[in-house]
Structure 1
């Protein structure tokens, strides 16, 4: 897991340069995280309708982020398997994008974006 976090982080700025993608991420990643937490809460409480809504929200967030990534000058590295996709997406949502924001990388990238 630590290797994945580091690998993703090393090229993070390279894949996050488009103004549209950056703005989409600053809205969609927190939405994904909230939906992810709500999914866990819904499952614990046996509220399966809201669990499904949470899954749908997470899926929409990822789909919209994918559209944002298509605006990038540097294409994302393709997923190699379902597990690779899930692990990379969770690491980005929970670790590397928040880290990108907290270290000032998001703001610098936004200022440099065309």
Structure 2
């Protein structure tokens, strides 16, 4: 699957897999944790700041683990990863593109309101 296909595929299904208030609330806090961790890891690599690399990797790992827990609360389970490369691609696309897009487009707030009405 190309990057553009992955982006489109993930975005089209995004609202289906993000409906539980627990998962939505978790994502609003832990996606920024992943992003900060990713920046710290990359900056740490460039600066040879190994504590930053370690802290960044830890933040990213914790964020992914917590999001996995949130997704287990959903009525519609996420599609399973098909390979390690598929997992990495989907995780990075969700964190850097589709979740911010979901928030900025109003999708997160709409899902939050619909979850409260259910």
Root-mean-square deviation (Å): 0.7
Larger relative contact order (C-alpha < 8 A, sep ≥ 6)? 1
Tell me the CA shift for residue 49 of structure 1.
Answer: 2.1
Tell me the CA shift for residue 110 of structure 1.
Answer: 0.4
* Aligned residue-pair number: 114
Q: Deviations over 1:90-110 (max 9, x none)?
A: 000000000000000000000
Name the CA distance, whole Å, in 1 between partners of 2:51 and 2:29: 24
- 1:108 is matched with 110
Single out whichever of 62-71 and 33-42 deviates more from structure 2: 33-42
- 1:17 is matched with 19
Q: Deviations over 1:76-97 (max 9, x none)?
A: 0000110000000000000000
- 2:64 is matched with 62
> Secondary structure of 2:45's partner?
helix
**Structure 1: gaps of 5 or more residues:** none
> Secondary structure of 2:91's partner?
helix
Single out whichever of 92-101 and 45-54 deviates more from structure 2: 45-54
**Structure 2: gaps of 5 or more residues:** none
Q: Deviations over 1:26-45 (max 9, x none)?
A: 00001100110111111111
4+ residue runs over 2 A deviation: none
